[in-house]
Amino acid sequence: MKSLILRDLKLAFRSGGGFALTLAFFLIVVMFVPFGVGANLDLLARIAPGILWIGALLSCLLSLDRIFQLDWEDGTLEALATSPIPLSGIALSKATAHWITTGLPITIAAIPLGYLLNLPTQSYTWLIASLALGTPTLSFIGAFGAAITVGIKRGGLLLSLLVLPLYIPTLMLGAQVVAIGTPNPAQLLALVAAISLLSIALIPFACAIALRSNLR
Amino acid sequence: MFGFDKYTNTVLMAYGVAIAMLAILIVLSLMKSNRVKRELDAQEAKSNGKN
Amino acid sequence: MSLWEYANPARFMALSGRILPTLTIASAVLLLSGLIWGFFGTPADYKQGSTVKIIFLHVPTALMAINAWLMMLVASLIWLIRRHHVSALAAKAAAPIGMTMTLIALATGAIWGKPMWGTYWAWDPRLTSFMILLIFYFGYLALWEAVSDKDTAADLTSILCIVGSVFAVLSRYAVNFWSQGLHQGASLSLDKETHVDNAFYFPLLVSMAGMVLLFVTLVLIRTRTEIRTRRLSALRAREV
């Protein structure tokens, strides 16, 4: 499983696309908000947590179809399915690799982007914590959506329609953690982490069912 | 006995919208049911005739 | 004799064909009498005026919007565990009905909300949860349409329904935290139980029973359609 993660990481770095593209997209989304709502610093500071979280969701969405699509097309997935690693283990490795190549860079990139949006100084700790603990959910749910739509031609739009509703609890709680004036951010942060743990524990099995059905 | 007041339009609109949507659902379900039933009957008659 | 015998499509068709006429009449009578009783036979509320009559549409449809999803969840689990085709098809048949119920609940709520709250829409936890439920229905139905192989479609939609249910419940609770943070104290709760008087309670019960029966009737009709569609494509495939 470790080698599977390493292989995915190597592929992501070598093609160069995934990694840099996700961050460029994140930058563009965040940059467009002042273009749309005006460069009022007070307003930007107020909406920054939500913008950063929505930007993270959308950037994550962009690279989801890569999780299984290429391996599905060239038959690697079929070969992997007959290997001794259970399908849920494969899904776990793939989702982890996806998080390392998107969730982690997004979390780090959120710091300078938060500065662009005039995010209040005391919010940065909460921003990093909530993104670091929340983005694993995004990758795991995303892997689930990718596993479901892997057999569908041009399934990208459907993938978004399936995955985005599942992101709602993480988005609501995560953005709330960062917002100023939330009475008890640590409690919400614990809930964000709990959702991530739940996703990591259960979603690989759901992925396995979806992949097995698609491979049949 | 009606018990209506200045909200008559509101109530009528709510009932109108809801009943219209229910009616669309029921009519579409029945239409599809009848169409499929007819096609299946035709197909079964055709298949039986051949065998 | 066990319940599982009806998982056989032929038996299901026979049984459902036998009970459908009675069921249709019963649901029509109950729903119509509940609505007519509610529409003509109830007094205006001292606070809400005659808009209180909308409750006889709003509450039963909201109830069925959630129960339809629960039924789909149970049917999906049965399909994944026991592989009964009728179960998967019943889940598919229920989804458009649940979606319509959600839409009606949202629409009647919005129409009621305009004079009572002064707005068609507010980001209140209950309203938001229903909007979320609606997009879950959209995704579920879209997935059924997108997958061409029937058994794979049943598998994928079932697992989506199960995972979706978990996250729908999480959303329902997340919404409470989120909405508290946004409107401080601007409470727009419906407070149903406190002012439902007997004059409203009985017609409401009749409407709810009618809506449940209507749902069952429509699910049976649509499941029968799905079974016939399946048989039709099997016959056609054999010919080619």
Q: Which residues on chain A are in Cβ contact (under 8 Å) with C136?
A: 165
Q: Is C47 at the interface with chain B, CB within 8 A?
A: no
Q: Is A61 at the interface with chain C, CB within 8 A?
A: no
Contact C162 A206 (CB under 8 A): yes
Number of other residues whose CB lies within 10 A of the CB of residue C62: 21
Instruction: Return the residue of C nearest to A151 by Cα.
Output: C147
pLDDT band at C235 (very low <50, low <70, confident <90, very high): confident
More confident residue, C63 or C178: C63
Nearest to A144 by CA among A206, A193, A102: A206
The reported pTM is 0.90
Instruction: Return the residue of B nearest to C116 by Cα.
Output: B7
Is the confidence at residue C188, as pLDDT, over 50?
no
Optimal mutation site among C80, C167, C184, interface A, most CBs of chain A within 10 A:
C167
pLDDT tens for chain A, residues 1 to 216: 777 787 777 777 666 556 788 899 999 999 999 999 888 899 999 899 999 999 999 999 988 888 888 888 888 888 888 888 888 999 999 999 999 989 999 999 999 999 999 999 889 999 999 999 999 999 999 999 999 999 888 788 899 999 999 999 999 999 989 987 777 888 899 999 999 999 999 999 999 999 999 988
**Signed CA dihedral, C140, A207, C227, C224: sign only:** negative
Question: What ipTM was estimated for this complex?
Answer: 0.90
Nearest to C228 by CA among C9, C6, C1, C56: C9
Lowest mean pLDDT among A125-129, C120-124, C185-189: C185-189
Which residues does B27 contact at the CB level (< 8 Å), separation at least 6? Answer: none
pLDDT band at C23 (very low <50, low <70, confident <90, very high): very high
Strand partners for A149:
none
Strand partners for C49:
C45
> For C174, which of A158, A172, A214 is closest by C-beta distance?
A172
Q: How far is CA A137 from the centre of its chain?
A: 7
Phi/psi of residue C47, nearest 5 degrees: -100, -45
- The percent of residues above 90 in pLDDT, for chain C, comes to 53
DSSP per position, chain C: --GGGGGSHHHHHHHHHHHHHHHHHHHHHHHHHHHHHHHHSSPPBTTTBGGGGGHHHHHHHHHHHHHHHHHHHHHHHHHHHH--HHHHHHHHHHHHHHHHHHHHHHHHHHHHHHHHHSSS----HHHHHHHHHHHHHHHHHHHHHH--SHHHHHHHHHHHHHHHHHHHHHHHHHHHHHHHHHSSS------TGGG--HHHHHHHHHHHHHHHHHHHHHHHHHHHHHHHHHHHHHHHHHH-
Interval C146-175: pLDDT, tens? 998 888 999 999 999 999 999 999 998 888
State the pLDDT at residue C108.
92
Contact C181 A176 (CB under 8 A): yes
Q: Is A17 at the interface with chain C, CB within 8 A?
A: no
Phi-psi region of C42 (alpha: psi -120 to 50; beta: other; left: phi over 0): beta
Interval B27-47: pLDDT, tens? 999 999 999 999 999 988 887
**Pair A189, A133: CB distance under 8 Å:** yes
Interval C77-112: pLDDT, tens? 999 998 888 999 999 999 999 999 999 999 998 998
State the pLDDT at residue C3.
61
State the pLDDT at residue C117.
80
> For B3, which of C35, C50, C107 is closest by C-beta distance?
C50
Q: How far is CA C224 from the centre of its chain?
A: 18
